[in-house]
Amino acid sequence: MSVRVRFAPSPTGPLHMGGVRTALYNYLFAKKHHGVFLLRIEDTDQNRFVPGAGEYIMESLKWCGINHDEGPDTGGPYSPYLQSERKALYKDYALQLIGDGHAYYAFDTPAELEAMRKRLETEKSGNPQYDCQTRMHMNNSLTLPPDEVKRRIDAGEAHVIRIKIPEGQEVVVNDLIRDQVRVDSRLLDDKVLFKSDGMPTYHLANVVDDYLMKITHVIRGEEWLPSAPLHVLLYRYLGWKESMPEFAHLPLLLKPDGHGKLSKRDGDRLGFPVFPLEWKDPSSGEISPGYRESGYFPEAFVNMLALLGWNPGTEQEIFTMKELTEAFSLERVGKSGARFDPDKAKWFNHQYLQQKDPEDIAALFIEQLKKHGHQASGKKLARIISLVRDRVNFVDEIWDQAAFFFEPPESYDEKFAKKKWKAGTPDILLQLVEMLRDIEPFDTGHIEKALHAFMEEKEIGAGQIMPGLRLALVGAGRGPDVKEIMSVLGKDEVKRRIQRVVDRLGKNGRSS
C-alpha cells in the first residue's frame, strides 16, 4: 500500500509555524516512503472563514519548498481539494449513520442548549455536554415520535445531525507517537456532524475525505488528539474500519520561556515572527511579521522547524530538504512539547548565510547597497560578503559590517584611538604610504609580504602599525583582516584614507 498523507488546514487565519511544521512532517514522511503528499483546504466552517487565508497557506508552503502532489491548485485524482466544493457529498454519509442508528437529528435551539448547560452546571453532574446522559432530555429524534421528527424536517425547522456516542465503551486510538490512547466513551459528547446550514462539521468532512482520498497516515498536531476517538468511531460506524489510517499526533511547539503553547502573543512580546510570511489581518488591518520578510532563508526556517520535535539521533543539525527526507522517521518524533528558541532560529539563518554562494547573497545585498547610494560589481560584492558574513545573521545586517568598503570613515573610534594611536603612529603610516607605491599587483599576498618587509626594515612590531592602519581604513578597531580590506579598497583609496586619519588625528590621536 503506497503512502498517502495530507495537510488539511482550515483557512481561519494565517498559518502558524506549528502548522508549517505539521505540513513539513507530512511532506517528509511522504517523500521518504515515495508516497503522495496532498493539500486539502478544510473550509466548511463559514463563520470562521478568513478571506485570503487559503492563498496565504499555499504561498507559505511554496516559499518553504513544501510542495504538494495534489491540491486545490494542482488538482489530482480525488478533486476537488477544497471542502466547500465537495459540499454535496457529505450529507449521504450523515444519513447513512442515522439509518444505522449511529446518529440522530437534533432540533434544540441555542436557548435550549444554553438552558441545558446552565442546569447541569448548577446540578454539578459532571460535564455539561450533550451526551449519553443528557440526550434523552433534549429535542431530538431519539426522544420525539417519528412522525413529529418528519413533520419538523419537512417544515424546514433548523436541525443538526449528531453522532450517538456509545455508552460504556473504551475507544482505543493507536498512535504512532503516543502508542495506545484509551478513552472511556462516557467522556465523549455527541458532536454535531452536520450543521443546520447544510455543511458538514470538521469531524465528518475530515473523516469522509481522508477515506475517499485514501489517506494512509494522519499526521497532525496534538490539539486534535481529543477528537481522534470520535474519528475512530466514525470509521467503525461508516464501515471503514479496514481502511482507517494510522494516526500520529505531533507534540506542541512551546513558548521560549515558561510553559504552554507558542502563540502569536509570545512572538509580539519577545520579538520574533510566528508566521512564515507577513500577514495583514483583513478586518483589523493589523500586520504580523513573517519569517520571509524578517530576512530568513526558507531553507533555514524549514531546517529549524524540522528539528522542533524530531531528532535525527545524531549530532547533525544542518540538513538540506533531501537529507531531511532521507533521515526523517516518525519513530524519532518526541512525545513531549518542543520548546521554540528564537536565538536558535537566528543561528540557523547564520549557518545558511555562511554556506550560500556569496554571489547569490550579493544579488540580495545589492538592493541595500543601492539604498545607500552605491553600486558595485557582483564579483566585488561577493568578495566583501565573504569577508564579513561570519559577523551577521541576516542579509540586511551586512551593510553595517561592510559600509566602510564603500564610504571612508566619517569619524574615528575615540576609545580605540586613545588606546592605540601613539605619537609615532602618523609618521609610520606616512612612511607606509610611500612603500605602497611598490606593491604590484595590489593583492593580499603581495600586501602581506610588503607589510612584513616594512616592519622588518623599520624594526617595528605589528602592534605599532596595524591598529593605526585599521583605524584609517575602518574608523574603528573592528572588521576583517586588514590586508583583505586593503586589497578590496585598492591602493589609491588606502593612501587617501591614511592621509585622512593622519590629518584628523595628528600626533595626539584626538580628532581635530
Residue 10 touches ligand GLU, criterion: CB under 6 A:
yes
Residue 253 touches ligand GLU, criterion: CB under 6 A:
no
Q: How many residues line the site for ligand GLU (CB under 6 A)?
A: 8
User: How crowded is the C-beta side of 205, counted as CA atoms within 13 Å?
Assistant: 25
CA 280 → CA 17, 20, 21, 262, 285, distances in Å? 16, 18, 22, 20, 6
Residue 206 touches ligand GLU, criterion: CB under 6 A:
yes
Residue 8 touches ligand GLU, criterion: CB under 6 A:
yes
Q: Which of 105, 110, 157, 171 is nearest to 135 (CA)?
A: 105
Question: What distance in Å separates the CA atoms of residue 349 and residue 401, rounded to the nearest whole number?
Answer: 17
Residue 201 touches ligand GLU, criterion: CB under 6 A:
no
CB of 219 to ligand GLU, least distance (A): 8
- Cell numbers at 93, concatenated: 454519509
Q: Which of 5, 42, 204, 252 binds ligand GLU (CB under 6 A)?
A: 42
From the candidates 32, 264, 344, 495, give the one annotated as an active-site residue.
Answer: 264
> Do the strands 179-184 and 253-254 form a parallel or antiparallel pair, or are they unpaired?
unpaired
Spell out the residues 6+ positions from residue 162 whose beta carbon is closer than 8 angstroms to its own.
103, 104, 105, 106, 130, 135, 140, 190, 191, 192, 193
- Cell numbers at 35, concatenated: 508516497
Residue 93 touches ligand GLU, criterion: CB under 6 A:
no
User: Stretches 4-12, 159-167, 192-200, 477-485: which one binds ligand GLU (CB under 6 A)?
Assistant: 4-12
Decide whether 221 or 256 has the Cβ nearer to ligand GLU: 221
322 is an active site residue: no
User: Stretches 6-14, 134-142, 421-429, 480-488: which one binds ligand GLU (CB under 6 A)?
Assistant: 6-14
**CB–CB of 126/120 below 8 Å?**
yes
User: Stretches 2-10, 92-100, 277-285, 309-317: which one binds ligand GLU (CB under 6 A)?
Assistant: 2-10
User: Stretches 3-11, 155-163, 290-298, 451-459: which one binds ligand GLU (CB under 6 A)?
Assistant: 3-11
CB of 25 to ligand GLU, least distance (A): 12
Grid cell 445531525 is found at 161
Can you spell out the DSSP letters for 322-382? HHHHHH--GGGB-SS-EE--HHHHHHHHHHHHHHS-HHHHHHHHHHHHHHTT----HHHHH
Q: Which of 21, 162, 203, 220 binds ligand GLU (CB under 6 A)?
A: 220
CB of 201 to ligand GLU, least distance (A): 11
Question: What distance in Å separates the CA atoms of residue 187 and residue 183, rounded to the nearest whole number?
Answer: 7
Decide whether 25 or 412 has the Cβ nearer to ligand GLU: 25
Binding stretches for ligand GLU (CB under 6 A): 8-10, 42, 202, 206, 220, 224
Active site residues: 264
